[in-house]
């Protein structure tokens, strides 16, 4: 691919840049990194005081997609604040005016740098890029990292280093990269599954002191993990937004996902014994949720918590509340985003096509020892990097894949973040989870998993699996749903509303095209969903 002489020249030039700007001598690099960390902390403090929450969210989005422009705006705001020119917090509208001013000042070459593979060495533009990385990435420059970026550009003309880095960082490193506190725990269920439980105990810019806070528990959707709550970055990811508002944020990971793929006895990779994968969202609700909720409450010394579930995270809660009704007393408020229980009116073509054969497909997969679906893969991450990034001609295929599964709404999808999504998801699931949804679609009811007549008799003492008794769920419930959601159809949500005994609030999204994944990743998720959640949760504590 690359000429060895070309690589040698590049390495020499990078060494010169390091000698000039730091990073060559270890002690010098450490001192420089400490200075930069102090500068970053000061900058974050100034920005927290100078910007409204909406303006911070907009600025963070800009920094992810256009680091150079974001850095210029941040520096401009900091200078204004230090000179006493910011008397009130800058709103999102005022921030946009600043952006327009920056656009007029910036050269035509945008926030990412176009590298030409035919150039024999890095030129002055590369030095500008080197300094931009130094200023906007928040860490000391290293030749190997910059060289990696150079090599990546051989596959595509434009790659945002921040987005690509986020795509390949594991969840703990991703959260810590943005200077948020992060804790990891292992929780063992009554049937031996070892679950990863994640926590952001307080905010970074506001409410950033340790202490006793209201606990909120987040539960992810199908094929997802706790990562779904942080992928969009500070100001946009639900977990970050809640932490800044003073909540102690706990994020669950269902059995079989990337962070919960362990057991005290069973081997998830065994082809001879597939017992590890013999579960659906029934077990997630009846066994995983109790273990994680109890751990979070015991660790924080609280008696109750708020629960926010998305998609399958709502389904598993309905299971918990009906099979283990004693847990309803531990819930201050339950917020169901894109609530899924009944699916008789699903308009998802893929799910609807597979639904009549779901039990047979699950049985065949079990015979073939193919019980795990969509495990997190480095291959998918690489594909996402090279095909889903901004400027790639096939990026639309990545968008369409999401739309095909969870509803189409291009107005709400931030395509710049597609590599980050594919870098962390899918995170794995059992085929029974998908089959159980198929049974709900085909049977038009909300029942426990159908094992077949004989096994049903042994497990449930009836030929047909029993329905979940929703009347037992007496926790305060808020339903948040959308007109265009193919998986949580309005008619099915209406039926759920009628059968739940204590629905305190029901909110249909005002935007008619708002769809399934928009509840967690939509451009307007914060203003349309998260801000309302915060108001409701705080009201429930009065």
Tens of pLDDT along the chain (542 residues)?
445 555 565 566 556 556 655 555 556 656 666 666 667 767 777 787 788 877 777 777 776 666 767 777 787 787 777 666 666 778 877 787 777 665 655 544 333 333 333 333 333 333 333 333 333 333 333 334 334 433 443 333 233 348 889 999 999 999 999 999 999 999 999 999 999 999 999 999 999 999 999 999 999 999 999 999 999 999 999 999 999 999 999 999 999 999 999 999 999 999 889 999 999 999 999 999 999 999 999 999 999 999 999 999 999 999 999 999 999 999 999 999 999 999 999 999 989 999 999 999 999 988 888 889 988 888 888 888 888 998 899 899 999 989 988 889 999 999 999 999 999 999 999 999 999 999 999 999 999 999 999 999 999 999 999 999 999 999 999 999 999 999 999 999 999 999 999 999 999 999 999 999 999 999 999 999 999 999 999 999 97
DSSP state of 286: I
Q: What's the CA gap between 516 and 431, in Å, rounded?
A: 21
Q: How far is C-alpha 233 from the chain's CA centre? A: 8
Q: Do domains 4-113+120-154 and 173-540 have the same CATH topology?
A: no
Length of the chain: 542
Q: What's the CA gap between 107 and 420, in Å, rounded?
A: 28
**Domain boundaries of the chain, sorted by first residue:** 4-113+120-154, 173-540
| Beta bridge partner(s), residue 479 | 336, 506
Q: What's the CA gap between 153 and 147, in Å, rounded?
A: 10
Distance of CA 372 to CAs 315, 442, 451, Å?
20, 22, 18
Question: Please, are residues 408 and 348 in contact by the beta-carbon 8 Å criterion?
Answer: no
- What is the enclosing helix (H) or strand (E) of 198? strand 193-200
Which pLDDT belongs to residue 22? 52
- What is the enclosing helix (H) or strand (E) of 40? helix 26-50
CATH of domain 173-540: 3.40.50.1820
CATH of domain 4-113+120-154: 1.10.8.140
Q: Is the dihedral of CA 511, 513, 516, 518 positive or negative?
A: negative
Measured torsion, CA atoms of residues 147, 153, 158, 161, in degrees rounded to the nearest 10: -30
Residues with catalytic roles: 311, 516
N-terminal to C-terminal alpha carbon distance within the chain = 64
For the purposes of burial, counting CB atoms within 10 Å of the CB of 33, is it exposed (0-12), middle (13-18) or buried (19 or more)? middle
Count of other CB atoms within 10 angstroms of residue 246: 16
């Amino acid at each position: 691919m690359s000429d060895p002489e070309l690589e040698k020249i590049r390495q020499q030039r990078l060494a010169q840049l390091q000698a000039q700007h730091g990073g060559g001598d270890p002690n010098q690099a450490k001192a420089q990194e400490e200075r930069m960390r102090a500068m970053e902390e000061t900058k974050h403090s100034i920005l927290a005081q100078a910007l409204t929450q909406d303006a911070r969210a907009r600025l963070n989005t800009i920094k992810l997609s256009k680091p150079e422009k974001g850095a210029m705006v941040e520096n401009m705001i900091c200078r204004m604040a230090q000179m006493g020119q910011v008397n009130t917090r800058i709103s999102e509208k005022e921030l946009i005016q600043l952006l327009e001013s920056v656009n007029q000042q910036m050269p035509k070459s945008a926030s990412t740098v176009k590298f030409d593979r035919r150039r024999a060495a890095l030129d002055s533009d590369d030095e500008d890029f080197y300094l931009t990385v130094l200023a906007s990435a928040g860490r000391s420059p290293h030749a190997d990292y910059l060289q990696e970026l150079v090599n990546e550009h051989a596959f595509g003309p434009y790659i945002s280093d921040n987005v690509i880095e986020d795509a390949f960082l594991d969840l703990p490193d991703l959260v810590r990269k943005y200077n948020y506190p992060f804790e990891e725990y292992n929780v063992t269920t009554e049937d031996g599954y070892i679950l990863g439980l994640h926590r952001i105990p307080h905010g970074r810019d506001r409410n950033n002191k340790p202490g006793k806070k209201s606990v909120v528990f987040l539960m992810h959707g199908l094929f997802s993990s706790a990562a779904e709550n942080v992928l969009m970055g500070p100001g946009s990811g639900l977990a970050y937004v809640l932490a800044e508002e003073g909540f102690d944020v706990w994020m669950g990971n269902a059995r079989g996902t990337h962070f919960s793929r362990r057991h005290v006895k069973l081997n998830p990779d065994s082809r001879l014994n597939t017992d590890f994968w013999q579960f659906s969202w029934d077990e997630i609700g009846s066994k995983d949720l109790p273990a994680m909720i109890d751990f979070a409450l015991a660790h924080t010394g609280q008696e109750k918590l708020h629960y926010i579930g998305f998609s399958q995270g709502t389904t598993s809660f309905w299971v918990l509340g009906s099979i283990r009704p004693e847990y309803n007393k531990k819930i201050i408020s339950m917020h169901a985003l894109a609530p899924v229980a009944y699916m008789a009116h699903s308009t998802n073509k893929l799910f609807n096509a597979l639904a009549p054969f779901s039990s047979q497909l699950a049985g065949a997969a079990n015979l073939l020892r193919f019980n795990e679906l969509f495990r997190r893969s480095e291959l998918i991450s690489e594909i996402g990097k090279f095909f889903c990034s901004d400027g790639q001609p096939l990026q639309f295929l990545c968008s369409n894949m999401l739309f095909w599964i969870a509803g189409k709404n291009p107005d709400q999808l931030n395509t710049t973040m597609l590599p980050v999504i594919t870098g962390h998801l899918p995170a794995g699931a059992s085929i029974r989870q998908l089959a159980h949804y198929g049974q709900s679609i085909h049977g038009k009811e909300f029942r426990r998993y159908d094992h077949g007549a004989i096994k049903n008799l042994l497990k449930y003492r009836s030929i047909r699996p029993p329905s979940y008794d929703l009347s037992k769920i007496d926790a305060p419930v808020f339903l948040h749903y959308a007109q265009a959601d193919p998986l949580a159809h309005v008619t099915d949500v209406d039926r759920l509303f009628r059968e739940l005994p204590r629905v305190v609030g029901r909110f249909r999204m005002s935007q008619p095209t708002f769809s399934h994944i928009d509840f967690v990743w939509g451009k307007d998720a914060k203003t349309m969903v998260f801000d309302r959640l915060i108001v409701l949760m705080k009201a429930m504590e009065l």
